[in-house]
Amino acid sequence: MILIKMGGSVISDKGKYKKFREETVRRIAGVLPKKELLLVHGGGSFGHVLAHKYRIREGYEKWKILGFSEIGRDMEELNLKILKILIEEKIPAVSIPPHALFLMGDEPNMDIFHFAVDLDFVPLTFGDIIFHRSKGIEICSGDYLMLHLAREFKPEKTIFLTDVDGIYDKDPGEPGAKLISVLERNVEPETSTKVKDVTGGIAYKIEIMREIARYSKVYVLNGFHPERMKKVLDGEETIGTVII
């Protein structure tokens, strides 16, 4: 089993509300396996712009409800764009929207994922709006789903596609930043903790990745170079970070 997250900054331009990167997604889809695959995608500018504006992570307030619906609509729109491309590439993907699958605060129900995979489908889930047992409303990040899928399926490889070459020792935008090719799960990395996303930014992501590395070999790769992912899938060396 292979578990892949297409990060929001790869599939969309995070600076422009709802700017989809169709060609990039098509190139990624072109190198994906057609079965034994679990797919997750992030929100990018389809999710984070409005999630921030409506302060969804702070929980329910009456004035937010239309905003919550709008984010749900935008995420389904993004998901449908990706789903169409996957199917055009002959990948039998089936969309599994988290907000209709479980309540945050409960354990996500994995039965549907198992059922789909056993029938050779490729489940496609995503960071989403979600109802929360105590807060009322919340954002469910794609990374949270990655963790639960990794725990459940213990994939041979887990791949995070991002807009940079991997994990760096400091913010990759800063001069002198070095790519960390191998990160040991038990070693606290020296890296940037700048928070950009409503769901926690790179620090939270690295924490999740290190946790996933208990169950799977984790790779952080540049999604704009899908040939690198192809190499990882083929068991070859490439540019990126592996967490062991």
SS3 157: strand
Taking CB under 6 A as the criterion, the residue among 98, 123, 127, 166 binding ligand IP8 is 127
Q: Report d(CA 4, CA 236) in Å as an integer.
A: 17
| Residue of 3, 6, 28, 71 that binds ligand IP8 (CB under 6 A) | 71
> Closest separation between CB of residue 126 and ligand IP8, Å?
7
Give the Cα separation of 114 and 104 in Å (integer).
Answer: 20
Identity of the residue, 143 or 165, whose beta carbon is nearer to ligand IP8 in the bound complex? 143
Among 137, 198, 233, 242, binds ligand IP8 (CB under 6 A): 198
Total of chain residues touching ligand IP8, rule CB under 6 A: 18
> How far from each other are the two terminal CA atoms of the chain, in whole angstroms?
17
Is residue 163 a contact point for ligand IP8 (CB under 6 A)? no
* Cα separations in angstroms, 73 against 87, 145, 177: 21, 19, 38
Distance of closest approach, residue 14 Cβ to ligand IP8, in angstroms: 9
42 vs 238 by CB, closer to ligand IP8: 42
CA 142, CA 205: separation in Å to the nearest integer? 10
The β-bridge partners of 136 are: 132
Q: Which residues make up the interface to ligand IP8 (CB under 6 A)?
A: 8, 42-43, 47-48, 51, 71, 75, 127-129, 139, 141-143, 197-199
